């Protein structure tokens, strides 16, 4: 069983913000795997898919970004997800906008959602897909930037990045090793 989590904030006012690219990307994951977000459980909106007979849980935590770890911890416990079957998709200010970077493990960096997941679960050896959001032309405080709407001119760039992240996470859910996913999509 696999758990794929996209980080974001649940309210409609955050829907098109940089901080919600994880939510957008898992929507693409669900589409690739033929799943629909239909139920709420463990403080998350959840879609379920079956790939080669194996269940895949796709989740959007409803706990807001800074408490994402609560939902992830609950889902991992409920479905007995091991660290090697967890993948998290999130925005990353340290990468240029639209850049997708996949890693097998790592730290939280400056990302509060990842800090929450690592803090709640005590795990760091899980796969992650980071979607770059940094725009060299914008000079505002980070907290204001991540909660601002993606500029309309940049929609195609972010739509493509989220689609790529969705496809990569679907490959992971098919049992393809994260190393092979990295080689194909990085």
User: For the chain, first and last CA: distance in Å?
Assistant: 24
Q: Is 111 a catalytic residue?
A: no
Cβ–Cβ < 8 Å for 72, 120? yes
- Of residues 3, 18, 19, 21, which has the active-site annotation? 19
Establish how many alpha carbons lie within 13 A of residue 22's alpha carbon, considering only the half-sphere containing its beta carbon: 30
Q: Count other C-beta atoms under 10 Å from residue 95's C-beta.
A: 16
Distances in Å between the alpha carbon of 27 and those of 6, 35, 61, 108?
9, 9, 13, 23
d(CA 165, CA 159): 10
Which residue numbers are catalytic?
A: 19
């Amino acid at each position: 069983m696999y758990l794929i989590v996209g980080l974001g904030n649940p309210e409609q006012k955050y829907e098109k913000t940089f901080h919600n690219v994880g939510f957008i990307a898992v929507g693409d994951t669900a589409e690739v795997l033929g799943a629909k977000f239909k139920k709420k459980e463990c403080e998350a909106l959840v879609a379920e898919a079956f790939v080669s007979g194996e269940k895949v849980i796709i989740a959007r935590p409803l706990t807001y970004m800074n408490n994402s770890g609560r939902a992830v911890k609950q889902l991992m416990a409920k479905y007995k997800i091991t660290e090697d079957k967890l993948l998290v998709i999130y925005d990353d200010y340290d990468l240029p906008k639209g850049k997708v970077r996949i890693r097998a493990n790592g730290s939280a960096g400056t990302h509060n959602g990842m800090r929450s997941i690592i803090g709640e679960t005590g795990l760091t050896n899980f796969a992650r897909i980071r979607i770059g959001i940094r725009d060299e032309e914008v000079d505002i405080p980070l907290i204001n930037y991540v909660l601002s709407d993606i500029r309309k001119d940049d929609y195609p760039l972010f739509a493509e990045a989220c689609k790529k992240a969705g496809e990569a996470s679907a490959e992971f859910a098919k049992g393809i090793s994260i190393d092979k996913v990295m080689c194909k999509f990085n």
